[in-house]
Amino acid sequence: MAQSHAKSNAKKELIEHMEVSKGTGILMTIALTFLSLVFIFPILLVLLNSFKNKLYISDAPFALPNGETFSGLFNYTNGIGKTGLIAAAGRSLFITVFSVIAIVLLTSMAAWWIARVKSKFSDLLYYMFVFAMIVPFQMVMFTLSKVTDMLNLGNMFGIIFVYVGFGAGLSVFMFTGFVKSIPISLEEAAMIDGCSPIQIFFRIIVPVLRPTMITVAILNAMWVWNDYLLPTLVLDSDAPTIPMAVQYLRGGYGSIDMGAMMAMLVLAIVPIIVFYLSCQKYIIKGVAAGAVKG
């Protein structure tokens, strides 16, 4: 009798717990849905206004385009013509691709060396990379501008080295945490089989590091593609990237071609959004692998 009564109480408690969990889940879903709409709304607003005549954007920014305000693709063609967006996109693509490749390759090698070589120098080097993550960019931007001028790095090739330097801190931190979780016995077995350090890295370490490599590539690609301040400081004004080109729509005395600017912002963010959505599943996996393990 007592046993059946205890089972009945346990069943009631389980049902009550499930009902509470279900209610909490519904509230969390509603809250997160609202939060996602808050973040998506500015993008939708830019998209809507990119199809309006520039005279109506300031007067009715939240209104849908209609027969009077709708401008078709004029803002897009006009913006591309004014900014030279196609050439700027080519420069941004070149800088982003090769900067990301260099960051991923060089920082993963550095992290592997730091994790495997136990010395005061390797520890010092690791903490220098970590310290670079917390130094505000404003502290070094004027010195950076002077140094890049002295070394003639104010071009598409030179800025890649600058991005490698600024992207190394977080990348080394993530790679080092993951490398520490890799059993060293794998590398020892490969060494016994006659592999050189380079062969061990590319045949053993790289395949295991792939999730973290993809995560580092995604994070740095979004940063480099959208970056405005660093190219403005380093690059010549006659060879702009996309963020720099969009700013050319700002005229004198504060005048802005809002229609063309909205259209160019849409074209600027679409490639990186598509890239992010296609690779987002690797981000959480890579961040967890690099930060938790080790």
| Domain map (residue ranges) of the chain | 2-49, 74-292
Looking at residue 103, its pLDDT comes to: 95
pLDDT at 225: 92
What is the distance between the alpha carbons of residues 149 and 160, in angstroms, rounded to a whole number?
14
- The structure's pTM equals 0.81
Q: What is the pLDDT of residues 135-148, one digit of tens each?
A: 888 888 888 888 88
Backbone phi and psi for residue 52, each to the nearest 5 degrees, phi listed first:
-105, 155
> Which token pair is 273?
């959004």
State how far the Cα of 210 lies from the Cα of 194, in Å rounded to an integer: 24
**Closest-CA residue to 267 (of 35, 58, 92, 34):** 92
Mean pLDDT of the chain: 83
pLDDT at residue 247, rounded to an integer: 83
Supply the pLDDT for residue 277.
81
Which residues, in sequence order, are CB contacts of 118 under 8 Å at separation 6+?
A: none
- What's the pLDDT score for residue 63? 81
Quote the pLDDT of residue 55: 79
| CATH of the structural domain 74-292, one choice from 1.10.3720.10, 3.30.365.10, 3.40.50.970, 3.40.50.2000 | 1.10.3720.10
Give the list of residues 6+ apart from residue 78 with CB closer than 8 angstroms, or none: 257, 259, 260, 263
How high is the pLDDT of residue 171?
92
Per-residue pLDDT in tens (0 to 9) along the chain, 294 residues: 555 555 555 556 555 555 556 667 788 888 888 888 888 888 888 888 888 888 778 777 788 888 777 888 888 888 888 888 889 999 999 999 999 999 999 999 999 999 988 888 988 999 999 888 888 888 888 888 888 888 888 888 999 999 999 999 999 998 998 888 888 888 888 888 888 888 889 988 888 888 888 889 988 998 999 998 899 888 877 788 998 888 888 765 567 778 888 889 898 888 888 888 887 777 666 555 544 444
CB of 232 closer than 8 Å to CB of 244:
yes
* β-sheet bridge partners, residue 250: 256
